[in-house]
Chain A
Amino acid sequence: MPRTDTETDTEAATAAGTTGRTPAAGADGATDTAMGRVTDAGTDGAPDAETGRAPDAATAASGGSGAAPPTRPSRPRRAGAALWALPPVAALGLVFLYPLALVVWQSFTPEDGGHSTAPYATVLDEASFRTALTNTVLIAVGATVGALLLGLVLSLVIAFVPFPGGRALSRFIDLFLAFPSFLITLALLFLYGTVGMANGLWTDLTGAAHGPLDFLHTPWGVLLAEVTYFTPFVMRPLLAAFSQLETGQLEAAASLGARPWRIVRTVILPEALPALAAGGALVLVLCLNEFGIVLFTGAKDVVTLPMLVYTKALLDGDYTGACVVAVVNIALSVALYALYRTVMARTGGGAGPRSGGVPHRAGA
């Protein structure tokens, strides 16, 4: 069966995982968005669950081919199957959709009663909102680029440069995904904070009053923390893609006279592109919604959309405003995800099967 982009999706990759861990372990703190479903053992039929078409979508797990179920009496079967979908749909509805609907409803309710789009106008006008939006997007994009580059280099080394401890390292990277995100910030604080080890070393050596490193509470600190934390999210699908690469192709390329860099560029990278795109899209969306890391670095200097929701709701008591920002945040995430899916659907068909040999057909 020809592979489609759904199999190269990061959902399938992080869910299936080379170590077979449960997908939920890798979840970030961003459960308040539609991306919470990203870590489900992925069928893209999931959005259809709400309309009760889940059984059909769920059976087309390997993908989107729209293959019709066998022609047996489908009516009673369908009705029966639909009943099975009710409990999860109900749970989903209660725990997720209802609060979401409430948030959207609340965003249209100004303080003085009634319903209008006035709250939107107010919030969107604020300078703090625009700063937050800019910050969020810039940091997310920057962190994604950083994670992609670092993840690619590390994955290439682990997969293709045999060194002792390579396997242990890739297992350790899996472990990384189990940590809460702000733990990374804590570690960085220990190292690079104003009273951290690096500065301490500096002051001990030079006798200065305080050390030169003072960047953790700036966007750069957030960027460093996010790149550190999210690189494994890129590496998992990449390592999975690389492990499926036929060594025969690499050897053939070498025997034809290609030096290592050419092999990486022409044989390995094209295989890596779907995994890179999937990993990049995942990290982008996760970064957009990242809360723990930003909170931990000291919210004063860096305000992102999730932080804004937090301050408005809990510190300012402005629930409506918070809901407005939340809706914008959700819209942004969903839009980006939809964009990613469209792009993958367009280009995913061209990726085709990984193997360049051992054909499905026999005979000349």
Chain B
Amino acid sequence: MTVSAATAPATAPAPSAAPAPAASGIRFDQVSVAYGRHGEHTVLDSFDLTVEPGEVMALLGPSGSGKTTALRAVAGFVQPASGRVLIGGRDMTGLPPHKRGIGMVVQQYALFPHMKVAENVAFGLKAQKTPRAEIPGRVAEALEMTGMAAYAGRHPRELSGGQQQRVALARALAIRPGVLLLDEPLSALDAQLRSGMLAELARLHRELPDVSILYVTHDQIEALTLADRIAVLDRARLQDCGTPQQLYRRPRTEFTASFVGTANLLPVTVRGDGVDFGGRPLTVPVGDEVAEGAAATLCVRPHLIGLGESPRPGGGNTLRGTLTEVQWRGATHRLYVAVDGHRVLADVRELRTTPALGDEVALHFAPEDAVLIPAGLTGGGAPDA
């Protein structure tokens, strides 16, 4: 990547030494956003989050969770009813979008149809009064970065979806923002293209280590793949925040458990060293925060459940139930087993012979693969931001 290599070693965290280092890092300080004449529709409630300089933070959640609102609050298109938005440590809450030093890419690309690709990319540079002589170089650099250098003379309507998205990215990157805002940028692309673009975004993130990226998505795969940390939102509140591994292996709430990956959630009661599931004792790690006899939820991921009795002598957990459905998914079989009225999903490697529906089957999982979620944690508490 030419940019980082060509500049003198800078003490400031910026790709080039000549212009002032672009402010990086985002902080949401108890940001609330509401619509309606008296603010009766809350779309974001006391949102508190810090994105470190150079970090990729994914905002993950279902529709209506407030993630796009949070992103637009950073961009300046939405005014918070209360709270502050800080970019690079500076309070940007009252500033209009053109003064915030951000780059933005949206789902519909929003390229300017009357301008060629090169002019689209140069737009921000001209708007920010970059010296004329510099513009062609910066445009070329941005197009190189996204692999669109050969299309500089085309119009947006002549490009495919993936190409247009890359041009939109180049346009946002050309102005060298400290903060890059991506609002479901891959949602309009087909699955094949999406995985390719994810890899490209990951590469760009490595090439631009000083740019904070806020990535809004409802797709957990995108979040798990790309993000350094994920913030899970639901119904206008922040539910959970952590690295992808933390959220996946040790979800704090039931919502996180079921939204980030698939999960089996079994209601259990804490008993001594383990839990009791409908009369069956199970051995799982029990932390100090749950009291004896307390109700809790046991979370086990389907791919960690095996078919048959537990191979561990004396250890391991076995559940017996009736097979209600089998789905073949190419590389795996998904089994739906009714245990005590609860439905348990198990994803096993493709079976040569599947059990018949209605058969009694045994499922097993290791104690360390289960997570205990204390009852009542549907979310809303202060996560480790």
Contact = CB atoms under 8 A, between A and B. Distances in A.
B109 A356 contact: yes
B97 A255 contact: yes
A246 B108 contact: yes
B124 interface: yes
Contacts of B103: 255-256
B106 to A, nearest CB: 5
A246 B124 contact: no
A353 to B, nearest CB: 6
Interface stretch (B27-35, B158-166, B249-257, B268-276): B158-166
Contact of A257 (B75, B110, B175): B175
Interface string A4-25: 0000000000000000000000
Contact of B110 (A251, A259, A262, A266): A251
Contacts of A262: 127
Contacts of A362: 160-161, 189-190, 193
Interface size range of chain A in the complex: 20 to 34
B104 interface: yes
B110 A359 contact: no
B164 A266 contact: no
Given A259-B98, A355-B113, A364-B196, A252 B104 contact: yes
Contacts of A358: 108-109, 161, 188
A265 to B, nearest CB: 11
B88 interface: no
A353 B157 contact: yes
Contacts, number: 123
Contacts of B138: none
A54 B228 CA distance: 65
Nearest to A258: B127
Contacts of A254: 76-77, 96-98
A361 B112 contact: no
Interface string B156-182: 110111111000100110010000010
B170 to A, nearest CB: 12
Given A256-B171, A357-B111, A363 B98 contact: no
Given A252-B104, A255-B103, A352-B157, A357 B96 contact: no
A363 B190 contact: yes
Interface in A322-364: 351-359, 361-364
B365 interface: no
B196 A248 contact: no
Contacts of B168: 252, 357
A307 B166 CA distance: 61
Interface centre among A249, A255, A362 (most CB of B within 10 A): A255
Contacts of B172: 255-256
Given A246-B110, A251-B110, A256-B172, A359 B161 contact: yes
Contacts of A251: 75, 77, 97, 104, 106, 110
Contacts of B98: 254-259
Given A256-B123, A256-B127, A256-B175, A361 B160 contact: yes
B352 interface: no
A363 B77 contact: no
B159 A255 contact: no
B108 A352 contact: no
A355 B77 CA distance: 21
Contact of A354 (B109, B113, B175, B181): B113
Contacts of A248: 106, 108-110
A357 B183 CA distance: 14
Given A248-B108, A353-B113, A364-B193, A255 B162 contact: no
Contact of B161 (A256, A266, A363): A363
A363 B164 contact: no
A183 interface: no
B378 interface: no
A262 B124 CA distance: 11
Nearest to B128: A257
A270 interface: yes
B48 to A, nearest CB: 24
Nearest to B103: A255
A249 B110 contact: yes
A253 interface: yes
Nearest to A255: B104
B114 interface: yes
A364 B160 contact: yes
Interface in B77-135: 77, 96-100, 102-104, 106, 108-115, 120, 123-124, 127-128
Interface string A218-232: 000000000000000
A361 B161 contact: yes
A352 B75 CA distance: 30
B155 interface: yes
A283 B123 CA distance: 34
A256 B163 contact: no
A90 interface: no
Given A357-B109, A363-B162, A270 B127 contact: no
Interface centre among A356, A363, A364 (most CB of B within 10 A): A356
Contacts of B77: 251, 254
A358 B75 CA distance: 22
A364 to B, nearest CB: 4
A235 to B, nearest CB: 22
Nearest to B77: A251
A1 to B, nearest CB: 13
Contact of B155 (A266, A352, A361): A352
Nearest to B104: A255
B159 A359 contact: yes
A349 to B, nearest CB: 12
Contact of A363 (B114, B160, B188): B160
A361 B156 CA distance: 12
Nearest to B101: A257
B113 to A, nearest CB: 4
Contacts of B97: 251, 254-255
A356 B161 CA distance: 10
Given A252-B104, A253-B127, A254-B77, 8 more contacts: A248-B106, A251-B104, A251-B106, A252-B111, A252-B171, A255-B98, A256-B171, A363-B192
4 A-B pairs with the lowest CB-CB distances in the bound complex, closest first: A357-B109, A256-B124, A248-B110, A356-B111
11 contacts: A251-B75, A252-B111, A252-B171, A254-B76, A255-B76, A255-B181, A256-B171, A266-B115, A353-B113, A356-B110, A356-B112
